[in-house]
Structure 1
Amino acid sequence: MNTQPPLLFALDLTGTFAFGLNGALTALRATRLDVVGVVTLGMLTALGGGVIRDVLIDALPPATFLYWPYFALAIGGALIAFVLNRWLGRLTMPLTVLDAIGLSVFAVIGASKAVAFGLGLAPAALLGVITAVGGGTIRDALVGQVPTVLRSELYAIPALVAAVLTVLAIRFDAYGLPVALGAAAVCFVIRMLGVRFRLNAPRPPFASP
């Protein structure tokens, strides 16, 4: 049975759908795939990070396999991407916003769950980031491209900020729905600022552009 607050659970499901949709679209842009390949990569994007987290903290079976809405929304998002990919490909900003929502919520939920299973603050924050970016990294590796987390405008950094805020709030016994939403909002704002102004994490001095 799900124990998250209803609003956070709804955002979690929204993020799952968004990652399934965006993951499938990214896969379609990168290579030619049939419907099985598109749905598989969409599901890996939406669910992969959470599965990795749950396996690492020994929360078995993973939450993905306990609540059918996760599977349904991941598959639904991937199928929509497969059918409407030409039209959806023109909706860059709405899809980026949905992806940022997923990134933000997954980072918070991943970090809070890791703490609940007894991890320290630093490992819990790391697992929050893995929850947020793990699925997309698996997808990118399978289609043979450099993972988004390593090259996109401020992707892992906002997830890390949200995860750190979450574990600190738990450490000082201040965690609750408002704090969770606040941490997710901080991640969302940083991510969207990175997209809007094409901001990137620092690169090595004198590196090629």
Structure 2
Amino acid sequence: GERGHQFRILRAVKNRFGPADEIGVFEMTGAGLAEVANPSALFLSERGAPHPGSAVFAGVEGTRPLLVEIQALVAPTALGTARRTVVGWDSGRLAMVIAVLEARFGIGFADRDVYLNVAGGLRVSEPAADLAVAAALISAREDAALPAEAVFFGEIGLSGALRPIAQAGTRLREAAKLGFRTAFAPPPAATGGAEGIAMRPVADLEAFIEKCFGTIDR
């Protein structure tokens, strides 16, 4: 259960009769729990106008595509050591993404506090969320909103290269269904596109930064 929201998430960890890692999303109503037919629409329902630090991740939970909003806040630190606070994602993976941005591309966060949140109370474990997290971090740092109708997915390697992601077509079809029109993803995803989605293939973070932000202060 998630105390701050009206819905509950049921996750199958062990299942003798079907696949594990599946999730069911239910809304708590006056008549009891009711199934949520389209969880992506629910998790994005409170997303308003584009603002810095917000990126939509096209994920997959088991066999179900799921779109969630990744939120980031980057602020100057008042402490000797910058703070890193994460809700809904792996803190070790956040540290890795920040290290790659700093070491490979000179985008510094050492003198800034970083707060990262997966909106809606969902916990994301996919490495495919790396690109969405990096997009939200850079967007927050530069105070520049990302395109409103864009989704992001891709795993970041330690070299800064983006690795291919499974079930790209499933992710893109779900994004198209919810009205998104652009997708930033590693190049192989371009072959699994969906009608109405314009692919913006990016081989590494450098290409992504140039396409999405242009010239930034490093």
Does TM-score exceed 0.5, indicating one fold?
A: no
TM-score, normalised via structure 1 length: 0.28
Q: In proportion to residue count, which structure has more strand? A: 2
- Which structure shows the bigger proportion of residues in helix conformation? 1
